Amino acid sequence: MDNKVVNVTFAGLGGQGVLKVSDILADAAFLAGLDVKKSEVHGMSQRGGSVCSEVRYGAEVFSPMVPTGSSDFLVVLEETQVVVNDHKLAPTGVLLTVNDIDMDKLSNKKSMNVALLGFLSSYLDIPEECWTKALKNNLPEKIQEVNFEAFKYGASLKK
């Protein structure tokens, strides 16, 4: 792996599982043996305000915050949050949004966040077993099966 740090920004509203998916990505990168940092502003998210979480991984990561305009991927779970965050995207960055997901394909709509994460995974160079383990580590057993399905569905979307 070269020295390039991969920058991913997740955005949405409180309660949508923004922090959960950023936890899973960070854990997957961690399990892959990479250096990784994750940063977010939270505290009042329980009241439905904007939430944003950033993950950076690579051989060596310094700042935990993705510099504005350098996100390689911007993953947005709620439509109104696209304009609030699009300046964070690098000129060559990829925007993935809730609109990429066909909600009818999900057996539980709450797993939309994980479906988007699956979609993101198809762009990233992280081994599958790390994703599987990270999903297991971060989700309660009861809802793992639905989320594995959602993740797989998301991963199949790449054009």
Partner 1 sequence: MDKRLFLSGNEAVAIAAKDAGVSLGVGYPGTPSTEILENFAEFGGRAQWAPNEKVALEVAIGAAFCKSRVISTMKHVGLNVAADPLYTVAYSGTPGGLVCVVADDPGMASSQNEQDTRRHAVAAGVPVLEPSDSQEAYDFTIKAIELAEKFNTLVILRVTTRICHSKCIVERAEKVSTEPVKEFIKDIKNRVMIPAYARMAHRKMRQRLADIQAINEESDFNKIIKGANDELGIICSGISYVHCRDAAPEANILKIGLTYPLPIEKMRKFAESVKRCVVVEEGDPHLYEACKVNNINVEGKDEMYRFGELDVNRVKRILAKDTTPEEPPKPGKPPQLCVGCPHRISYEILRDLDCIVSGDIGCYTLGVLPPFQAIDAVVCMGASIGMGLGMRASLPESDARRVVSVIGDSTFMHTGLNGITEMVYNRPETGHLVIILDNATTAMTGLQEHPGTGRKLDYTTANKIKIEDSVKGLGVDHCDVVDPLKDKDGLKALIEKRLASNDLSVIVVRRPCILALAKDKKMAEKNA
Contacts with ligand SF4 by CB under 6 A lie at 46-47
* DSSP conformation letters of 11-49: EEETTSSHHHHHHHHHHHHHHTT-EEEEEEE-SSGGGT-
Residue 59 binds to partner 1 (criterion: CB under 8 A)? no
> What is the b/e burial string over 12-30, where b = at least 16 CB atoms within 10 angstroms of the residue's CB?
bbbebbbbbbbbbbbbbbb
The item of ligand SF4, partner 1, none sharing an interface with residue 132, based on CB under 5 to 8 Å by kind, is none
| Residue choice 49, 59, 122, 129 for contact with partner 1 (CB under 8 A) | 49
Nearer to partner 1 (CB atom), residue 1 or residue 122: 1
Question: Which residues contact partner 1 (rule: CB under 8 A)?
Answer: 13-14, 26-27, 30, 35-50, 52, 61-65, 67-69, 80-81, 83-85, 87
